[in-house]
């Protein structure tokens, strides 16, 4: 039996239709993933029926009250959405998502899927720095939840198989999610301290920095240099350095 991939977590936000979660458990088993996290309630009877030979994934699924709790221990988080636009930019295609996931084998990656009815709220989407989008019929872009998970997990799994056949893929020695969050908070703190922000901002700088850092995936040396740079900004404007806890 193939080993499961422990560095990928599938997060479902309040799934409501009986059977979808069971189908997703079976899909995860097909592609060697077993960390299922659910924001909401325990799967229904039909879920176990449709999770053919994959009931163990449902049995050990982790339940959470909200998305923030479900992703708290993850290093990187990617949301899947059918919505696009100026305020909902697409950061990567499914193939690019798979490449990104496999470039960070030492980190825990979360793939987040919203409700069947209306997806993720804006507040939930803001918790996910990166966004992946499946191209589909513009007149009917909404993909069934279980099918969306199937497409995403297949991309990740098949990318890994191609990688094995072709002799490897570049791996990044990126800092953990905890360290990235600390750097993100420090940069915001410095910008706030030097009066960078206007009274009425048209740019969500919090989201911008989170997305930029997640795309950059700095290693320890790069993270240190960024802290050094922002500390110097603070010195130049305020005359004193800004400590880093």
Divide the 245 residues of the chain into consecutive groups of 10 and give the mean pLDDT of each group.
Answer: 76 92 93 95 81 89 97 96 68 93 94 92 93 87 90 92 70 94 96 92 92 96 97 96 86
pLDDT of amino acid 169: 66
Name the β-bridge partners of 89. none
Contacts of residue 239, defined as CB under 8 A and 6 or more positions apart, other chains included, come to none
pLDDT of amino acid 89: 76
pLDDT of amino acid 18: 81
User: From edge to edge, which strands make up the β-sheet containing 76-80?
Assistant: 62-64, 35-39, 8-13, 109-113, 76-80, 130-132
pLDDT of amino acid 1: 38
The DSSP call for residue 42 is P
pLDDT of amino acid 189: 96
Token code pair at residue 143 = 């993909």
pLDDT of amino acid 166: 67
Distance CA 54, CA 48 (A): 8
Angle at CA 200, nearest 5°, toward 196 and 201?
Answer: 60
Token code pair at residue 131 = 């966004």
The residue extents of the domains of the chain are 8-166, 177-238
Taken in order 125, 118, 11, 103, the sign of the CA dihedral is: negative
Token code pair at residue 10 = 């599938």
pTM of the model: 0.90
pLDDT of amino acid 167: 65
Select 8-166's CATH number: 3.60.21.10, 3.40.47.10, 3.40.1280.10, 3.40.50.11820.
3.40.1280.10
């Amino acid at each position: 039996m193939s080993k499961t991939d422990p560095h990928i977590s599938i997060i479902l936000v309040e799934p409501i239709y009986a059977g979808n979660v069971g189908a997703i458990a079976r899909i995860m088993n097909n592609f060697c993933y077993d960390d299922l996290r659910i924001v909401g309630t325990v799967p229904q009877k039909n879920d176990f029926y449709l999770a053919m030979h994959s009931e163990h994934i449902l049995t050990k699924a982790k339940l959470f009250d909200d998305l923030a709790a479900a992703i708290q221990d993850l290093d990187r988080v990617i949301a899947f959405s059918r919505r696009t636009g100026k305020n909902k930019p697409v950061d990567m295609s499914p193939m690019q998502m798979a490449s990104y996931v496999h470039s960070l084998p030492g980190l825990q990656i979360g793939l987040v899927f919203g409700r069947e009815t209306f997806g993720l709220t804006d507040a939930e989407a803001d918790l996910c720095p990166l966004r992946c989008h499946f191209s589909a019929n513009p007149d009917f872009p909404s993909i069934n939840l279980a099918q969306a998970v199937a497409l995403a997990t297949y991309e990740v799994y098949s990318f890994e198989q191609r990688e094995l056949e072709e002799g490897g893929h570049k791996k990044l020695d990126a800092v953990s999610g905890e360290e990235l969050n600390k750097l993100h908070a420090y940069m915001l703190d410095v910008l706030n301290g030097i009066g960078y922000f206007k009274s009425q901002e048209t740019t969500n700088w919090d989201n911008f920095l989170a997305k930029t850092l997640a795309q950059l995936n700095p290693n320890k040396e790069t993270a240190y240099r960024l802290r050094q740079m922002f500390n110097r900004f603070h010195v130049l404007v305020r005359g004193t350095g800004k400590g880093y806890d």
